[in-house]
Amino acid sequence: MKESLQAPVDFLAEHEHAFHERPGVYTAGDLLSSAAIMEISSPSIDRAAEVVLRSQEHPGAVRRLAERAQAGWQSDIEVSKNPPQLESDHAQRRVAQLRRILSREPRNSIRWADLARAYATLGYSDSASRAMTVALQIGPINRFLLRAATRLDLYREDPDHAIYMLNRHASHLSDPWVLAAEIATSTSMDRSSKHMRRARKVIDNRELPPWHISELASALSAVELRAGRVKQARKLLTVSLENPTDNALAQAEWSSTHGVVVPDLQESRSDLLDAPTGYEARALYFASRGDYDLAVSNAIQWLADQPFAMDAAVFTSYTASVLADDHETAAYAAGIGLRAYPHDNLLLNNLAFACARLGRLEDAQDALSRMRLTNDEEMSAAIASATLGLVSLRVGNVEEGRNLYRTSVRSLEHMKYDESAALAALFWCEEELRIGEVEVLREVSKKATELAKACPSAAVKTRLRKLSMQDPSILGR
């Protein structure tokens, strides 16, 4: 049954009716998604959970919903270190499984979209694009396909095509979910969407249930925040949190770390901690609290849920290595991200740093050799210089390593990247502690503590604390 977007409806009852009429894995998934919002249990929801758990074809997120439904919507959320869906052999099996299904159901557009995602997980950009093209040609066009195609275009770094596709199916822009995707994509391109007036009208009219306008309000808040209109951004974030989606919670968490205090966010955090797929929001929340182990464990699940999301790979690899000293997870996350973005300099640097800290120096050198920096990437070059300095010190080229670190710190200071300069100096100081030359250590520790005091960010405080634990006298040098 097609959802009406013209007035409030009882979506749970609608999905329950659809499941009774067509009791399959898709109608079961829709019913569980609706039930999860209100954490409702019933015989129909129990049967839907059984259907999903018996199936080997449903996405992991929906299976987790089914498990929670059977457990009475308990909020204990377990996360695994390395989710199996991130392993390449798992993704390869998923591709093979979907191809078998499509040989029987060649006009199943949802399966073609699933195949596109599986290919993207493996880094097969062209194959993913071809599969999504088939999905859109088969149709019928719906919000799921349009949003999935938009995500794929962003992964392929082709936002212009995403905007073209969304406007080509302009009739679907009356759907707030599709409208949110168009505005978010336009914002990512530093462009103003031509549908802003329509979007504001949807929010102002409040004719739709809060959950259905949550992402649209969140997308509009990002526009306002970029324009410096903090008061308007806060109002829209408040609307987005009335019955928030996972993405809206993540946007609110991100905004809160950038100076936008949202009164309703604290109340919504109970939803955040209970949400079965709210990994991104939880990762940001725990990182903001300085609970980096929990931030990393949720971040790796965020990456599993969105394996070709650049933000997920960068956040996980950085937080794990720089803040949690979990270099195994950092290297693993960077490697996953590099499947989708094999030439990304930031991910290659994060991989090199994690490998060097693990003592895997050949892997670190290999990652650094794959970086291709252009003349306008001065910050990336300065950070890579610090990582190369780390590797040089670890392989015994002490003077070369020191010169590389010194160049990095000076360059970052000159460019006013104070936090990065302080972190580079603090990591350099850790290496000098290991080498043990007193005069050099005194010089480097003095510089590191000066920079740390001038930029007391959470990351810098964390590294300074870890450094003082290695040598309590470091702060007095």
The 10s digit of each residue's pLDDT in 347-380 is 999 999 999 999 999 999 999 999 998 877 899 9
> Running DSSP on this structure, what letter comes out for residue 321?
I
C-alpha 61/C-alpha 29 separation (Å) is 10
What are the pLDDT digits (tens) for 200-209?
A: 999 998 888 8
Residue 239: both structure tokens together: 């609307």
In a domain, 451, yes or no: yes
Shared-domain flag, residues 321 and 196: no
In a domain, 283, yes or no: no
Closest CA to 8 of 208, 239, 273: 208
Out of 167-181, 290-304, 355-369, least confident range? 167-181
Read off the pLDDT band of 257 (50, 70, 90). confident
* Domain, as residue range, for 403: 305-476
Shared-domain flag, residues 404 and 426: yes
In a domain, 416, yes or no: yes
In a domain, 252, yes or no: yes
C-alpha 385/C-alpha 477 separation (Å) is 26
- Angstrom CA distances, 227 to 193, 198, 235, 290, 311, stand at 14, 19, 14, 29, 22
Give yes or no for residue 81 having a pLDDT over 70.
no
C-alpha 131/C-alpha 43 separation (Å) is 37
Shared-domain flag, residues 30 and 46: yes
Shared-domain flag, residues 415 and 456: yes
Read off the pLDDT band of 169 (50, 70, 90). confident
Shared-domain flag, residues 400 and 443: yes
C-alpha 447/C-alpha 426 separation (Å) is 9
In a domain, 289, yes or no: no
**How many domains does the structure of the chain reveal?**
3
C-alpha 297/C-alpha 314 separation (Å) is 14
Instruction: Show Cβ contacts of residue 115 under 8 Å, excluding neighbours closer than 6 positions.
Output: 95, 98, 99, 102, 131
Which amino acid does the sequence have at 99?
R
- End of a domain among 74, 89, 112? 74
Q: What is the dihedral of CA 212, 168, 126, 97, to 10 degrees?
A: 50
Highest mean pLDDT of the ranges 14-23, 148-157, 288-297, 417-426: 417-426
Q: At what angle do helices 263-274 and 230-240 cross, to 10 degrees?
A: 40
In a domain, 287, yes or no: no
CB 327 within 8 A of CB 358: yes
Shared-domain flag, residues 138 and 227: yes
Shared-domain flag, residues 170 and 123: yes
Give the angle 28-34-38 at the CA atoms, nearest 5°: 135
Which amino acid does the sequence have at 474?
I
SS3 74: coil
In a domain, 253, yes or no: yes
Shared-domain flag, residues 120 and 266: yes
What are the pLDDT digits (tens) for 141-167?
A: 888 889 999 999 988 889 999 999 988
pLDDT (mean) for 300-320: 91
Residue 271 confidence (pLDDT): 59
Place of tokens 């078998």: 100
H/E element, 402: helix 398-414
Highest mean pLDDT of the ranges 227-231, 251-255, 411-415: 411-415
Average pLDDT, the chain: 84
pLDDT (mean) for 178-201: 92
C-alpha 39/C-alpha 281 separation (Å) is 20
Shared-domain flag, residues 7 and 143: no
Give yes or no for residue 77 having a pLDDT over 50.
no
C-alpha 369/C-alpha 433 separation (Å) is 27
C-alpha 447/C-alpha 441 separation (Å) is 10
Highest mean pLDDT of the ranges 97-111, 154-168, 421-435: 421-435
In a domain, 284, yes or no: no
Residue 47: both structure tokens together: 């049967």
Instruction: Show Cβ contacts of residue 473 under 8 Å, excluding neighbours closer than 6 positions.
Output: none
Pick 7 or 390 by higher pLDDT: 390
Closest CA to 222 of 194, 260, 184: 184
User: Which is it for the CA torsion 268, 253, 249, 210, positive or negative?
Assistant: positive
Residue 8 confidence (pLDDT): 28
Instruction: Show Cβ contacts of residue 374 under 8 Å, excluding neighbours closer than 6 positions.
Output: none
Shared-domain flag, residues 117 and 181: yes
Q: How far is the first Cα of the chain from the last one, in angstroms, to the nearest whole number? A: 71
Shared-domain flag, residues 89 and 31: no
Closest CA to 336 of 378, 358, 304: 304
Read off the pLDDT band of 36 (50, 70, 90). low
Residue 211 confidence (pLDDT): 84
> Cis ω on the peptide bond leading into residue 210 (within 30° of 0)?
no
C-alpha 16/C-alpha 44 separation (Å) is 7
CATH of the domain at 346: 1.25.40.10
Shared-domain flag, residues 113 and 142: yes
Q: Count the Cβ atoms, other than its own, within 10 Å of residue 386.
A: 26
